[in-house]
Structure 1
Amino acid sequence: MKKIIPTHFISIHIDNCEIIANIKQVQNLFVLHDKNLENALIQLEKIHLTLLLLNINANIENRVARIFDFISQEFSPDLSLFRIKLKGLGNFGNKVILLHCDKSDKQNYEMLLRVKSEITLLLLSVGFTFVNDILIAPVDELLDDMLSIKCHVRRDENAFDVDTIQKNFTPHATILKLSKLKGITAKSIKKLDPKIYNEIFDENYEFGEQIVDKIYLSCIFNKKIDKNADCDNEMKSFKIGYFRNLGAITLGKTRVHTGDNIIKRSS
């Protein structure tokens, strides 16, 4: 069976100035320790918290974007703007450095889980399927059928096990990963030493709070696009960095921005 890889993702963008400044300090510590690690850094304008990974064939992107528009109209209006607090550094096998979400902020953390569950439910309701924690888009014919009837979403509250999904969900923002290294450097650096940052940035260090008012559907494999490309007026508040955006759900409203836009983000 052909290996399924994620091509798109649904996420929260991290652009709070305090958080970004703190992340930059951590990244600088690693680069001071070993300049080769500069190539392992996640660009500040690309820091995000992933909610879901998706597999969408490039040929049906535009149709999925329209489906995303339809399901956004079904998004619960009581899921409104909230905050997530990023607190403490962690790692995956000393190969990935990440920021944790503060679970002690129960009200906001619960809202994060509800948003993830709502999006999962709606995507499953329009024909997406789960395979190895990746949501796979339905076949062309099913998408065409949905679009022809304006995609009447039939919510199935039993479509997936909420507890299992949430149990396996570890919300985090990656800021460095060794898999970005290539060639000799990749062979010479197998693991990271937590001592590089532990003395300053421990598990209780508060990086800041991110206001969450939009949830984005974006493409992992970006196209090369002119930085001066015209964008939706609302997207112009983002200044540096690019995601090819297929849509964005505005929390607490039934409005969505769709199209092959560039999300400009500030660092």
Structure 2
Amino acid sequence: MPETSEKKRKRKRGDVGGRMDSEEDGDQKKKKKESQRPNYFVSIPITNTQMKSLVKEVQEAVLQKEPRLAKAMIPVPTLHITLLVTHLASEEQVELAAAVLAQAAPSVAELLGGRDLVLPFSGIRHFRKEVVFVGLDSGEHRHTLDSLAELVRRRFEEQGLLQGDNRDFEPHLTIMKLSRASKLRFQGIKRVEPGLYSDYTNKFFGNQTVERLDLCSMLKKKQQDGYYHTETSLQLGGRRRSEPDEAELLRVSRRLVEDAVSRALQQYKQETLQNGGGPNAAALQSPGSAEETKTDTTANSSTDNRK
């Protein structure tokens, strides 16, 4: 039976309505996906200055050969190892995440067993020539790091705070990433060729002691030192509290010098008095010691009279 004009009109309206519904559903899914994009991560910051200097050296060497990769470089102050990424939808969730990290402290301490977790990095590798990173050497430290990452991930997951991060943990120190500069594709740069950093392929970059775990924001303004905005940190190791920092060492050094000078002056004064005084003896006395000055003067006068 031939299709009537009315049926055709209804069918067309249905097709249009179906397409409109489909487009609206697509827009809603897109908005939902965008609203759940990762905006926080837990990281291990790179604090080893030798490693930072070498990374900077590699980046500069690459830029000498291909200056257009400048925007693909990871800023040295932000260097870190990512343990997990997630989406925290509110300040309440941020506060909960900070609390979860803090509450993990006893378990982390038990995992480390009182020892520092030292991560040796060497060589440069890549993911599909789009992400360039310094590699982590194999060894017992890798098993400990895997356990640490799993511990933190499990705690976040138990509180419903692990969103959109189902990837396997693959620790690496990213130093270049093409996704940071999407316009490079339009300029014909779709990969970072290994030849650009071939001189550093097997180079040892140094050891990074895991000093703390940071809960960082991807979107908030970076800190004055250039590192990501950090909501909270879980201190792990590195410099022990019993070990003095540079400022404390400087204070101790100054105090030792002052004590040595003071002792030398006292000894000089005593020797001067024993030898009958001298023209500069009074000048070497400490200011504000009137009684001592009076006594010294009397003693000198008596000595002069006996002579």
TM-score (ref. length: structure 2): 0.60
Compute the RMSD of aligned alpha carbons.
2.2
Shift of 1:59: 3.9
What's 1:51 paired with? 83
Structure 2 CA distance, aligned partners of 1:119 and 1:224?
Answer: 24
Task: Name the SS of the counterpart of 2:144 in structure 1.
Answer: helix
Structure 2 CA distance, aligned partners of 1:218 and 1:66?
Answer: 10
Structure 2 CA distance, aligned partners of 1:66 and 1:23?
Answer: 30
Shift of 1:66: 4.7
Bigger relative contact order, structure 1 or 2 (CA pairs below 8 A, ≥6 apart) = 1
1:243 and 2:276 correspond:
no
What's 1:101 paired with? 136
Runs of 4 or more above 6 Å deviation: none
Shift of 1:249: 1.2
Q: Do the aligned partners of 2:87 and 2:162 also contact (CA within 8 Å) in 1?
A: no
Task: Name the SS of the counterpart of 1:187 in structure 2.
Answer: helix
What's 2:216 paired with? 218
Shift of 1:65: 4.5
Structure 1 CA distance, aligned partners of 2:81 and 2:97?
Answer: 21
Shift of 1:52: 0.4
Shift of 1:67: 2.7
Task: Name the SS of the counterpart of 2:234 in structure 1.
Answer: strand
Give per-residue Cα distances to partners, 1:124-176, cap 9 Å, x unaligned: 2223345452xxxxxxxxxxxxxxxxxxxxxxxxxxxxxxx7xx221101101
Structure 2 CA distance, aligned partners of 1:102 and 1:212?
Answer: 15
Note the residue ranges of structure 2 that are not aligned, 5 or more in a row: 1-28, 238-307
Structure 2 CA distance, aligned partners of 1:173 and 1:224?
Answer: 19
Give the count of matched residue pairs.
201
What's 1:12 paired with? 44
Using a 3 Å threshold, how does the CA distance of structure 1 residues 66 and 132 change in structure 2: closer, same or farther? closer
Structure 2 CA distance, aligned partners of 1:87 and 1:69?
Answer: 29
Q: Which moved more, 1:65-74 or 1:174-183?
A: 65-74
Structure 2 CA distance, aligned partners of 1:50 and 1:114?
Answer: 14
What's 1:91 paired with? 126
Structure 2 CA distance, aligned partners of 1:15 and 1:9?
Answer: 18
Give the residue type in structure 2 aligned to 1:247.
Answer: T
What's 2:161 paired with? 128
1:21 and 2:53 correspond:
yes
Using a 3 Å threshold, how does the CA distance of structure 1 residues 251 and 72 change in structure 2: closer, same or farther? same
Task: Name the SS of the counterpart of 1:90 in structure 2.
Answer: strand
Q: Do the aligned partners of 1:71 and 1:122 also contact (CA within 8 Å) in 2?
A: no
1:99-248 equivalent positions in 2, closer than 5 A? 99-103=134-138, 106-129=139-162, 131-133=164-166, 168-183=168-183, 185-188=184-187, 189-198=189-198, 200-202=199-201, 204-223=202-221, 227=224, 240-248=225-233
What's 1:141 paired with? none
Rg: which structure is higher?
A: 2
Give the residue type in structure 2 aligned to 1:245.
Answer: T
Shift of 1:60: 2.7
Give the strand-richer structure, 1 or 2: 1
Shift of 1:251: 2.3
Using a 3 Å threshold, how does the CA distance of structure 1 residues 34 and 64 change in structure 2: closer, same or farther? same
Structure 1 CA distance, aligned partners of 2:156 and 2:135?
Answer: 26
Structure 2 CA distance, aligned partners of 1:58 and 1:130?
Answer: 13
Task: Name the SS of the counterpart of 1:38 in structure 2.
Answer: helix
Q: Do the aligned partners of 1:68 and 1:247 also contact (CA within 8 Å) in 2?
A: no
Q: Do the aligned partners of 1:79 and 1:251 also contact (CA within 8 Å) in 2?
A: no
Give the residue type in structure 1 aligned to 2:186.
Answer: K
Q: Do the aligned partners of 2:38 and 2:164 also contact (CA within 8 Å) in 1?
A: no
Task: Name the SS of the counterpart of 2:215 in structure 1.
Answer: strand
1:245-260 equivalent positions in 2, closer than 5 A? 245-251=230-236
1:25-40 equivalent positions in 2, closer than 5 A? 25-40=57-72
Using a 3 Å threshold, how does the CA distance of structure 1 residues 100 and 53 change in structure 2: closer, same or farther? same
TM-score (ref. length: structure 1): 0.68
Structure 1 CA distance, aligned partners of 2:227 and 2:162?
Answer: 28
Using a 3 Å threshold, how does the CA distance of structure 1 residues 91 and 11 change in structure 2: closer, same or farther? same
